Chain A
Amino acid sequence: MVDYAASRPADAPATLFDRSKALARFQSGDDLFRLLTLAAAVLVLLLLGGVIGSLVWGAAPAFKAFGLGFITSTEWDPANDVYGAATAIVGTLVTSLIALVIAIPIGLGIAIFLSELCPPRLRQPIGIAVELLAGIPSIIYGIWGFFILKPLLQAYVEPAIIAVTGPIPGLNVIFAGPAYGTDIFTAGFILAIMVLPYITSISRDVFATVPPMLKESAYGLGFTTREVVSNVIIPYTRVGILGGVMLALGRALGETMAVTFVIGNAHNLATSLFAPGTSISATIASEFAEADRGLYTSSLIALGLLLFGITFVILALARFMLMRIEKKAR
């Protein structure tokens, strides 16, 4: 190594002052970097504020014109400039509910399989494969659902359900024919496949927080796999699973393109799940381009505000629950 202090000429005092200068530069650079990161963090907050603010601003004319009746009215009539959100809100809630009814048992089943039953070598590939379902873009689900899944559901699944539930009062109203194919049920079914990976991956994560000692003690006492899962794992992780379900619900509520393809985009409030309907996101996606900038556009933005409000509450609850289980794991 070269010794710089020794090789430097003795009559060069300037180097002595460089130290304090370098230190000052370090400090100002330090402050600048800290401020930059702080600004970026604050920007995330501003982003949320901006989203809410701009939606409220855009939705104001619609709420001024229709009041709270906008939420409860089922009338959607662009020709006469009268708008009500109830049909779309119900469509969004019902499709998401169908998605959860299908996806919760299956998603939990996959998570149990992956954490308790699967041979370790297959665990990673199968886990990744299920998570890839979340990676497929929503538009792909839409075109696949419209051209492939919808005809199958319409020709086989829906008539079968109608035939089975026909004689049962109550159910025969919910599952009344004819089977349209592009309807609420098909939209819910596609949503179920789309949110499946969220339920599975969160359940897997929270299952991993169960202390192995607990599970091993249960197995040691002679519990079967089913008994370990339903008496040890699920009670221990209940809050986390619920968080995962809420997260999936948040996704399902806001899903747009896939639903737009298969829901039928009809503003009618039917009692049958096999009738065409619409959802908030599908209404915005399919009608925004043709809306002139008056009350029509404002009503669509108001729909967006309602959607954001609903998902915000659901997602906040989900995060709160997941935070609780994280604390427990620590």
Chain B
Amino acid sequence: MDLLAARRAKNAVYVALCYAASAFGLIFLAWILIVLISKGLAGISPTLFTTRTLSPGSGGGLYNAILGSIIMTVLGTVIGTPIGIGAGTYLAEYGAGSRLAFVVRFINDILLSAPSIVVGLFVYQIVVVPMGHFSGMAGAFALAIIVIPVVVRTTEDMLRLVPTPLREASAALGMPKAMVVQRIAYKAARAGLTTGVLLAVSRISGETAPLLFTALNNSYTSFNLNAQMASLPYVIYQYAGSAYSDWQQLAWSGALIITLAVLTLSISARTLGTSRTKR
């Protein structure tokens, strides 16, 4: 066989494999989404959102779990975001080339991908053990620790995209540095900073592992941050592993809700992010 034909044949196989790999990835995404919709949709009803979790066979809903998830996610974001933005600002605006910034950046990148179950253990050790019981506060605290590195990373990246002449022009008008950062750089990077927060929210709203031994679960509707608190992922974990078909149905419906919420958040974060960089 002549050389060219052999090379062409090899190339055709190679290209076909690349197509196949892409199909593989997309098939799994579609498969998971289709299964979630077909299994979860059956259980979506108004009572799902208005009734709390009950014992099997008595037609409970997920109200307390959804509420608990929202409370802890919001609280985790509120605690984590200012710290994340502050540290990100230091990395981009003040410490840029310093040794401290190098170390913080490196450590932050590691925290970004650190196992979330370890975060749960950490919060168990420093909050749950001293307090003597599980609590919604501990859950929110664990989620905040996951928010911080995400926000630090995007804040630094986005502030770096703000053109330096903009800062120089405002400094030349006599603005002190803090004001340049707050009034000019934050404003210019607003879309990017929002993206970071949205990404962080989408990341923590599906997290289960850090809640296993911090917030635990609560079958009653509770606003008390000092007591155990239910969360959607935890209830899914508990119900999916149970032997009752109505609990399993609730688990699938909860899974559908959570996936839709998370994917909506991450898609809107992405579109916001790309519209920012295109300009």
Contact = CB atoms under 8 A, between A and B. Distances in A.
A and B are partners in one complex rather than unrelated chains = yes
Interface of A: 26-27, 29-30, 32-34, 36-45, 47-48, 50-51, 54-55, 57-58, 105-110, 112-114, 116-118, 124, 126, 128-133, 135-144, 146-148, 193, 196-197, 200, 224-227, 229, 247, 250-251, 253-257, 261, 281, 284-285, 288-289, 300-301, 304, 307-308, 311-312, 315-316, 319
Nearest to A251: B113
B247 interface: no
Nearest to A26: B176
A323 B241 CA distance: 42
B113 A315 contact: yes
Contact of A43 (B8, B11, B87, B266): B87
A213 B14 CA distance: 23
Interface in B72-88: 82-87
B236 interface: yes
A97 to B, nearest CB: 17
In order of increasing CB-CB distance, the 7 nearest A-B pairs are: A254-B115, A137-B206, A109-B21, A40-B86, A33-B178, A224-B11, A37-B90
Nearest to B39: A147
15 contacts: A37-B86, A38-B90, A42-B104, A58-B125, A106-B25, A113-B19, A137-B233, A138-B206, A143-B240, A146-B240, A225-B11, A256-B116, A257-B209, A311-B115, A319-B110
B209 A144 contact: no
Given A41-B90, A41-B91, A257-B237, 4 more contacts: A30-B177, A36-B86, A48-B110, A136-B263
Nearest to A106: B21
Given A146-B240, A257-B237, A139 B255 contact: yes
Identify which of B31, B109, B122 gathers the most chain A CB atoms within 10 Å of its CB: B122
Interface stretch (B41-49, B58-66, B93-101, B161-169): B93-101
B20 A109 contact: yes
Contacts, number: 259
A54 B122 contact: yes
Interface string B113-149: 1111111011001100000000000000000010011
Contacts of A26: 176, 179
A37 B93 contact: yes
Interface in B4-18: 7-8, 10-11, 14-15, 17-18
Contacts of B255: 139-140, 143
- A-side interface mostly: helix
A108 B117 CA distance: 29
A311 B118 CA distance: 11
Given A30-B177, A44-B107, A137 B86 contact: no
A38 B119 CA distance: 23
Contacts of B39: 147
Contact of A227 (B11, B95, B107, B109): B11
B36 interface: yes
B21 A288 contact: no
B229 interface: no
A54 B125 contact: yes
B35 interface: yes
- B-side interface mostly: helix
B147 to A, nearest CB: 12
A112 B208 contact: no
B191 interface: no
A46 B84 CA distance: 14
Nearest to A43: B83
Contacts of B87: 37, 40-41, 43-44
Nearest to A54: B125
Nearest to B177: A30
Interface of B: 7-8, 10-11, 14-15, 17-22, 24-26, 28-29, 31-32, 35-36, 39, 82-87, 89-91, 93-95, 100-101, 103-104, 106-111, 113-119, 121-122, 125-126, 145, 148-149, 152, 176-179, 181-182, 202, 205-209, 212-213, 216, 233, 236-237, 240-241, 251-252, 255, 258-259, 262-263, 266-267, 270, 274
A26 B149 CA distance: 30
A50 B122 contact: yes
Contacts of B118: 51, 55, 254, 304, 307-308
Identify which of A41, A51, A112, A247 gathers the most chain B CB atoms within 10 Å of its CB: A41
B15 A226 contact: yes
A45 B107 contact: yes
Given A39-B86, A284-B117, A44 B36 contact: no
A225 B14 contact: yes
A138 B208 contact: yes
B236 A143 contact: yes
Identify which of B101, B182, B216, B270 gathers the most chain A CB atoms within 10 Å of its CB: B270
Given A54-B126, A117-B15, A226-B10, A250 B113 contact: yes
A34 B86 contact: no
Contact of B259 (A50, A131, A136): A136
Nearest to A301: B121
Contacts of B95: 38, 41
Nearest to A226: B14
A316 B110 contact: yes
B114 A144 contact: no
Contact of B109 (A32, A33, A304, A315): A315
Nearest to A254: B115
A311 B115 CA distance: 8
Contacts of B262: 135-137
Contact of B25 (A33, A37, A130, A247): A130
